[in-house]
Structure 1
Amino acid sequence: MNLFENAGPLLERLGAEEPFPSGAAMLARGREILKSLSEAEQIGVINAHPRIGDRPDKVSALSFREQGYDRDTTPPEVLRRLATLNEEYEQKFGFRFVVFVNRRSKEAIVPVLEARLRGTRDEERRMALREILAIAEDRLKQGEV
């Protein structure tokens, strides 16, 4: 069961404690581990997530569907805008933008990313970790793992 992307330090620690009695127990332990990681380790977990709007061959199977690539009709100009915003975000904060897409279109994510560019590095790091947990919780609810 993989609720999280290939997020090195988080998966290493979770793997050392497997098996979990349930997905909910794994999620709860993942939440505890994320809080205990160093900032550098947390950023490693954040950077394990694919970029919103990245090429379909660069995302995991779970992210492929979550980001809507299975039904994608995103205009090229929106993909270019996302690429530009992702680059700005990574330059400013030093890690990837992570958002719980929650079946929203890529067009709907553009203003979210624009707004998040106004945050501080610490706010964004904490937000990214919350978003990672929301993604994992949704995967568990959807029975995708």
Structure 2
Amino acid sequence: MSDSTLSPPPSQLDQAAFVAAYGEIYEHSPWVAELAWEQGLGPAHDSPAGLAEAMSAVLTGAPAERQLDVIRAHPDLAGKAAIAGELTDDSTREQAGAGLDQCLPEEMARFERLNAAYKAKFGFPFVMAVKGSDRYAILDAFETRLENTPAEERRTAVAQINRIARFRLEARANTRQ
């Protein structure tokens, strides 16, 4: 529900409180929230859609190396961190929602092979907003995106991360209503 209001309302927070509340929307990258706050937040940013737009503009406009830092902060899908229970709460929910915690051994082996091939080609993990997808669609996307150039894939990963952020903001708004 993009017309709901976030709580606490971003426009009413000082920078420290805003970063404390929203700094983990972008995986281990609170600088995105810091810069979004510095650019100014008004009442239009109190909705998930409004805040997502402001924060995604920060990441999209960041230099490539900073974008790569955010991409690299994401875990592998169905990877070792998931198996070991070392994901953030958001990532755990997102991966479980796509059924990645229910992979058969041959599917896990395929994820491991694709994760390795992807990282070898691009130097960062495969990132996909998995909400609404299942493991089969994710594996297909892996195969397709391995054909991208590094620049195309960086842009695709940033767009996917911005989708993840919007989903996370919507989930927070929906759980507080």
Provide TM-score, normalisation by structure 2.
Answer: 0.71
User: What is the CA-CA distance between 1:59 and the residue it aligns to?
Assistant: 1.5
User: What is the CA-CA distance between 1:69 and the residue it aligns to?
Assistant: 6.9
Q: Distance in 1 between matches of 2:159 and 2:98?
A: 25
Do the aligned partners of 2:52 and 2:166 also contact (CA within 8 Å) in 1?
yes
Do the aligned partners of 2:98 and 2:133 also contact (CA within 8 Å) in 1?
no
Match of 2:95 in 1: 67
Q: Distance in 2 between matches of 1:133 and 1:35?
A: 8
With over 3 angstroms needed to count, the CA separation of the structure-2 counterparts of 1:121 and 1:131, relative to structure 1, is same
1:27 aligned to 2:55? no
**Structure 1 unaligned regions, length at least 5:** none
Q: Secondary structure of the equivalent of 1:26?
A: helix
List aligned pairs for 1:53-64, cutoff 5 A.
53-54=78-79, 55-56=81-82, 57-64=85-92
Match of 1:6 in 2: 28
With over 3 angstroms needed to count, the CA separation of the structure-2 counterparts of 1:70 and 1:35, relative to structure 1, is closer
Q: Equivalent pairs: percent with the same residue?
A: 31
RMSD, aligned CA: 2.5
Give runs of ≥4 in structure 1 deviating > 6 Å: 17-20
Query: How many residue pairs were aligned?
Result: 145
Structure with max Cα Rg: 2
* Deviating more after overlay: 72-81 vs 38-47: 72-81
Provide TM-score, normalisation by structure 1.
Answer: 0.84
Do the aligned partners of 1:51 and 1:97 also contact (CA within 8 Å) in 2?
yes
For 2:123, give the aligned amino acid: G
Q: Distance in 2 between matches of 1:27 and 1:90?
A: 27
Q: Secondary structure of the equivalent of 1:6?
A: coil
Match of 1:131 in 2: 160
With over 3 angstroms needed to count, the CA separation of the structure-2 counterparts of 1:117 and 1:70, relative to structure 1, is closer
With over 3 angstroms needed to count, the CA separation of the structure-2 counterparts of 1:49 and 1:20, relative to structure 1, is farther
